[in-house]
Each structure stands twice: as C-alpha cells, then as structure tokens.
Structure 1
Amino acid sequence: MVPLFIEKLSKRLDECLPGRAAQEIMMIRPKRFKSKVDQKKVPAAVLILLYPFDNEWYFFLTKRTKTVEHHKGQISFPGGMVEKSESYKNAALRETFEEIGVSMKEINIIGALTPLYVPVSKFEIFPFIGWTAKKPETVMHDIEVDRIFSPSIKNLMLEETKKERRDILSDSSIAVPYFDLDGEVVWGATSIILSEFKAILEEAL
C-alpha cells in the first residue's frame, strides 16, 4: 500500500514544477556566473531518497570526502555522473547503491525535479525522487562519502532551517543562502534542489 504522503507527493510531481523561481531562492547573490550554459555540460543524476521512520519521513544526504574530484567536503545527495548508454534515472539508482548501499530493488521512483546546471563544475544535474517502504540499511562508500545522515522532512520545512551567511569571493561580498540540517551547512546545488523540493512539498501537503 502506498502511503498517503507519497500519493500526494507523486500527484504534485505530475503537475507543472516550480522550476527556476524556486531554485533561485537558494542561489548565491549576486550571481557569480553567466547564465549561458556551457555546451560541454556533463550529465549527472542524484536521488532524493525518502523513507518512513517513527511516523515521520526522512531523506538521505552525504558529506563528501576531501579526496573526491568535485565538491570536496560538501553536502550532496547520493548521485554522480551518467555513464554512456545509461538513463538518468538508472544513473541515480546506481550511484545511490554505490555511495550508500541501498539497492535499487528497494527503491520506488515517483518523479523528477527540474534539471540544474552548475557552471563551476559544468555538471547538469537531473534530480529524481524515490522512496522505500521502511528505513533501509546503508553501507558507506568511504572513498567518496565521509558521512551519511538523514534530515527529516519536518525539519526541512521549518522556516528557521533556512539561513544566510556572508562570504568574500574575488574581493566581493556575497550572500550565501543555506539550509542548516543536522548541524551541516547545506548550500550550493544541493540547497537549490532542496529549495524546489520544499516548494513542491508546501503545495502537496
């Protein structure tokens, strides 16, 4: 039986997505990159993997190690580059298994969010949303993943979770929006994807 939360979310994902308007809420200001998309963009796929536990819903995030090639030490969803002849969805499922050990057989994909281009890495990220019937066992890929943690949907939806800090980049002051989740600073592409997901949840629930 499909939980009511998943039914409502699935229905909302079948409708028009919030897209850029929701993504921009968590983008750095002022913008540091041109809006023009590089023709050499590299496709990547990530998964927002939801699961129920103690009458609440949670999702997985990972903290990347300092040895990975891209986005060292940052918070991300399970995911990675799409291989040749591989669908975006299958890439998200494969990378989820490789990084946190959850088998694709346990996961039900219910939809996707708006793709996001990241100029600094030239990745075009395709985010998918899936769920498992119960809290899955995880196995950490310690070369790529330093930590696996699971914020609750309840905490994501709290207004005080969204924060902002000032940083200096190229001698200019910039505003960096972020989510404070489980004591981690979730910013950049992950926070932008979460921003659209949060907007969808606000409408679906």
Structure 2
Amino acid sequence: MSKSNWQDAFLEFLKTRPTLPGEAAHELVALKGRVKASEINKLQIQPKISAVAVVFEKVYSGEYRIVLIKRKEYAGVHSAQISFPGGRRDGGESLIETSIRELYEEVGISVNERQLLTPLTELYIPPSNFLMYPFAYRCDTIMKCYPDPNEVADIVYLPLLRLAQEPCFEMHSVDVRGFSLRVPAIELSGHIIWGATAMVLAEIHVLIKSFIQNFEKM
C-alpha cells in the first residue's frame, strides 16, 4: 500500500456509493444496549432530525484529514464534545441541504452537492433524541475555517491515515454528567472522540479496511 495514493483512491471509491457496513460498524464503538436507528420505529420513538457534514479535506498530495469541531461548554448533553459540524433540519430543506447549511454556519466552510461523496449510515442519539444523517464531502484544497463563537470552541483535524490504523479505537474514560464511563474512542491531541462521532468514524474505518485489502491486490 502506498501512503501517497490510497487516500485519493479511497475517496473515489466512496463516490461509487458502496454498500455500507452500517450498524455492524457502529457497534464496534457503541455503548452496550444503545438504541439503534433501525429500532426507533419499533420502540415508537419520535426523534428530531439532524444532518452533519463529514468533510475530507486535502492537506498534501494524497493526504486528507477530516474536519471536526469541539462544541462549546453549555448546559446540554453534548457540552464540550468532539463532533461533526451539523445540526437540526429546518423547515422543508433536504437533509443534504441541512448538512451544507450547518457546515457553513458553524465553521464557514462552503461545499455543494457536486462535492458529495456518499451518504453514510444514519444513527440515533438517545441523550438528545436526534436521528442523525451523515454526508461525506470532498474538498481538494485546505479550507479556511471561521468557527461560530457561539457554538464552536475549536477546530480539530483527524488525519484520514489514523482511521487505517489498528487498533483504531481504544478504551478511554470520559465524564458523562458526573459519571465516569469507559468507552471505545480515539485520543487525538488530548481530545477524546467517542459516542456518535466515533460511530460514524467506525463506519469509515471499516470501509477503509475493506478498500485497502482490495487495493493492495491491484
């Protein structure tokens, strides 16, 4: 495998809209007993709908990173957590439109539907009762960020190469409303990436592993 070319090839692969590993990948890092998106109808849950943008940003020739944000501290369940730019769907807009709008509002990055690689698997977030739809976008240049100071405390960049590593996720302690939990997560520059964000990254991780196995045979 060549570090210089598999990442571009992987993003081209995503454009083909491959079969997604879905909830099987989510379960690699999900807390035991977590409600799945596929279960909410059976459980008669009426979730709020949101969408997030998973931006693959080109940094060097053949090297990409994923744009994440650290949310500001506030009196809510996702205070100070690492997440993807995104939020609640407004009015009659499509989910893709929501992800594009929220990305621009939160970090000032502008993308369009031509840059869409693929939707990823939706997941349910029990603490805030959101059904979250992730959409992957490709940016072939470094994008200047303008974080919304009311919502974003910092921008965090995850090298795509990190998601090809094993082990990708390891157990870390996180504080959840005064309780300490051990969760599968990625530690990045002092930040712990876990929960719904880690679940989306787990799906990308599984896709990368499958892709590289075939890529190395070419």
Asked if these proteins are the same fold (TM beyond 0.5), I'd say yes
Match runs of 1:5-16 below 5 Å: 5-11=10-16, 14-16=17-19
Question: Which has the larger displacement, 106-115 or 53-62?
Answer: 106-115
Partner of 1:104, secondary structure, is coil
Q: Give 1:189's match in structure 2, choosing from 191, 196, 204.
A: 196
Partners of 2:163 and 2:190 lie apart in 1 by: 12
Deviations 1:141-167 (A, max 9, x none): 111000002111112222244111357
| Partner residue, 2:135 | 128
Distance 1:173 1:73, change over 3 A: closer
Task: Please identify runs of 4+ aligned residues in structure 1 that moved more than 6 A.
Answer: 167-170
Distance 1:168 1:97, change over 3 A: closer
Distance 1:39 1:32, change over 3 A: closer
C-alpha deviation, 1:132, in angstroms: 1.0
| Partner residue, 1:43 | 49
| Partner residue, 1:20 | 23
State how many pairs are aligned. Answer: 199
CA contact (8 A) 1:161 1:180 kept: no
Partners of 1:34 and 1:23 lie apart in 2 by: 9
| Partner residue, 2:103 | 96
Report the RMSD for the aligned CA atoms in angstroms: 2.6
Q: Give 1:145's match in structure 2, choosing from 145, 149, 152.
A: 152
C-alpha deviation, 1:200, in angstroms: 1.1
Partners of 2:203 and 2:58 lie apart in 1 by: 21
Partners of 2:110 and 2:173 lie apart in 1 by: 40
CA contact (8 A) 2:163 2:204 kept: no
Identity of aligned residues (%): 30
Partners of 1:87 and 1:121 lie apart in 2 by: 21
C-alpha deviation, 1:203, in angstroms: 1.8
TM-score, structure 2 as length reference:
0.82
Partners of 2:186 and 2:205 lie apart in 1 by: 11
C-alpha deviation, 1:15, in angstroms: 2.6
Match runs of 1:40-189 below 5 Å: 40-55=46-61, 56-67=63-74, 69-105=76-112, 108-165=115-172, 175-189=182-196
Gaps of 5+ in 2: 1-7, 213-218
Partners of 1:166 and 1:185 lie apart in 2 by: 9
Partners of 2:58 and 2:181 lie apart in 1 by: 37
Partners of 1:78 and 1:166 lie apart in 2 by: 24
Gaps of 5+ in 1: none
Distance 1:149 1:167, change over 3 A: closer
